Chain A
Amino acid sequence: GAGVSQSPRYKVAKRGQDVALRCDPISGHVSLFWYQQALGQGPEFLTYFQNEAQLDKSGLPSDRFFAERPEGSVSTLKIQRTQQEDSAVYLCASSPSEKLFFGSGTQLSVL
């Protein structure tokens, strides 16, 4: 079966632009997570959904970051007024229980 799918694979944005990153989880996975990975670092937790409910958003770095999962399947991570420090790989993971399965990520570069 298909794994976690993320799009776009690469995104270049000018500082100040808004961006939207998409995640298609594995079918049937209730839980969905977003992580941010800076170059040379381990991923860092951003937010967590169970179905359409956002249960934990403690890792979102500022109010410019917003995530949604309106129908409990596809999720979108939106970053408003992008800044250079937002440049990173954004990883999405889904899970049926304890194990997390990650997508290939979206590499965001803010110029």
Chain B
Amino acid sequence: GIQVEQSPPDLILQEGANSTLRCNFSDSVNNLQWFHQNPWGQLINLFYIPSGTKQNGRLSATTVATERYSLLYISSSQTTDSGVYFCAGNAGGTSYGKLTFGQGTILTVHP
């Protein structure tokens, strides 16, 4: 199966700072998605982004499918952004929802 590598594993920010999270895939992926898992365990779908760039408020994401990576940008971070960020995708030929997740980036935003 595909391997998903996320970096950095941990990130500590002061409120108001910007950050970039990266996700590398070992092979071509379909159905690439970014999720935020809040401190209560809820996984929130941030983006479905198999290619290109999308923006949603202070968050944006870019996927370069030909180079097998995706980036998540967080601008003007807030304490509520804290939690774990996961990227996930599925390999071609598998069920579209059979996602392989990375290990996550743990983000802590201090006031």
Give A contacts to B, CB under 8 Å. Answer: 31, 33, 41-45, 48, 55-56, 58-59, 89, 91, 93, 95, 98-102, 104-105, 107
Residue among A33, A44, A89, A105 making CB contact with B97, cutoff 8 Å: A33
Take A42-B101, A42-B102 as given contacts and tell me if A55 and B95 are in contact as well, using a CB distance cutoff of 8 Å. Answer: yes
Q: Which of B19-46 contact A (CB under 8 A)?
A: 31, 33, 35, 40-45
Whether A100 and B98, one on each chain, are in contact in the complex, defined by CB atoms closer than 8 angstroms, is no
Consensus secondary structure, chain A interface: strand
Whether A42 and B97, one on each chain, are in contact in the complex, defined by CB atoms closer than 8 angstroms, is no
Whether B98 and A48, one on each chain, are in contact in the complex, defined by CB atoms closer than 8 angstroms, is yes
Give the distance in Å from the alpha carbon of A31 to the alpha carbon of B90 in the complex.
15
- Which residues of chain A are within 8 angstroms of B100 by Cβ–Cβ distance? 45
| A56 (CB) vs chain B CBs: closest residue | B95
Give B contacts to A, CB under 8 Å. Answer: 4, 31, 33, 35, 40-45, 48, 86, 88, 94-104
- Which residues of chain B are within 8 angstroms of A44 by Cβ–Cβ distance? 101
Contacts A55-B95, A56-B94 aside, 8 further interface pairs with beta carbons under 8 A come to A33-B97, A43-B86, A48-B97, A93-B97, A98-B33, A100-B33, A100-B45, A100-B99
> Number of residue pairs across A and B with beta carbons under 8 Å?
57
Shortest CB-to-CB span from A86 to chain B, Å, is: 18
Give the distance in Å from the alpha carbon of A48 to the alpha carbon of B95 in the complex.
8
| A89 (CB) vs chain B CBs: closest residue | B41
Max chain B C-beta neighbours (<10 A), residue from A41, A101, A102, A107 = A102
Shortest CB-to-CB span from A18 to chain B, Å, is: 24
- Which residues of chain A are within 8 angstroms of B95 by Cβ–Cβ distance? 48, 55-56
Shortest CB-to-CB span from B6 to chain A, Å, is: 9
Give the distance in Å from the alpha carbon of A105 to the alpha carbon of B43 in the complex.
9
- Which residues of chain A are within 8 angstroms of B43 by Cβ–Cβ distance? 43, 91, 93, 102
- Which residues of chain B are within 8 angstroms of A55 by Cβ–Cβ distance? 95
